[in-house]
Every structure is written in structure tokens, then in C-alpha cells.
Amino acid sequence: MKKDSEETRCTVYHAQCLKKYVGQTTATLNKRNSQHKNWCLKKHKKEILKSTKKNDGMAYHHHSTDHNIDFDRIQTEIITEEKNYRRRLIIEGMEIKKLGENRANRQVGYEIDDSWNPIIERLKS
């Protein structure tokens, strides 16, 4: 029996707005989307987001571009399930690198060495 994707834990996911945001979480997608929404709704968070490395990349994108994200209609999809934290970080980093400039992420995530570029290019197709 396949679990409801909104209740699946330990995932790497992407959310589509004008650009794509890639993230990883141990929480369910429902909970993580709720966290993103809360950070976006708090206008005073804009300064906090600019001043800290540990932040919400989707909220940073929202506040820095004034792009209003419609959380009732945003499409969030699971890329993969992975319980191992380091593997999730590597997968997230590769997915962010695949997006190039079409990403909403502030940071590139886990730094993927350029020697992986040929493989990442093939994964884009």
C-alpha cells in the first residue's frame, strides 16, 4: 500500500513557483509546507532571513523577490524517500545543481563537485 505523499517522511522534495525550490526534510510535506507558509507570512522575518545561514530558502525567495506563493495551489512533489540524512543532503545537492539558475534556493545545499557535471547533465534529460 502506497503512503499518501503528504504524510511521507524523510524525503527530498521540490516545489514549483516561478522557479523550483528543492528541499529535504524529516517532517511530512504537510508540516514542511506549513513551516514555509508561516515564514512567508511573517513580514518581520525578512531581516532574520537575510542575517542567518540557517533559514527557510522558500521564504527567502518570497521575501527577496516579493513573489507571493499560493500555498493552497503550490505543487510540491517528492523526488525520493531517503531515511539516511547524508544521502538526503547529497540527493538534495544534486537536484539543486541540476536546476542551475532556475532555482529558488538561496544556497546550493550539499556542495557537489564539478566532476559530477557530466552525470548531472545526463540526468536533466
Q: What distances in angstroms separate CA 122 from CA 46, 75, 117, 125, one per listed residue?
A: 37, 25, 9, 6
- pLDDT tens for 4-24 read 566 889 999 988 878 889 999
Signed CA dihedral, 74, 111, 125, 85: sign only: negative
Contact in structure between 77 and 13 (CB atoms under 8 Å):
yes
Enumerate residues 6+ apart whose C-beta is below 8 A from 37. Answer: 69, 71
pLDDT given for residue 95 in this prediction? 92
Of the pLDDT bands very low, low, confident and very high (cuts 50, 70, 90), residue 76 is confident
> Given a cut of 80, is residue 43 above it in pLDDT?
no
> What residue type is assigned to position 78 of the chain?
I
User: CA–CA separation, 13 vs 20, rounded Å?
Assistant: 10
Mean pLDDT of the chain: 82
pLDDT given for residue 66 in this prediction? 79
pLDDT given for residue 90 in this prediction? 92
Consecutive H or E run containing 95: helix 85-99
Q: What is the pTM of this model?
A: 0.79
pLDDT given for residue 57 in this prediction? 79
Give backbone dihedrals phi and psi of 115, rounded to 5 degrees, phi first: -65, -20
Enumerate residues 6+ apart whose C-beta is below 8 A from 100. Answer: none
Consecutive H or E run containing 75: strand 75-81
pLDDT given for residue 108 in this prediction? 78
> Given a cut of 50, is residue 1 above it in pLDDT?
no
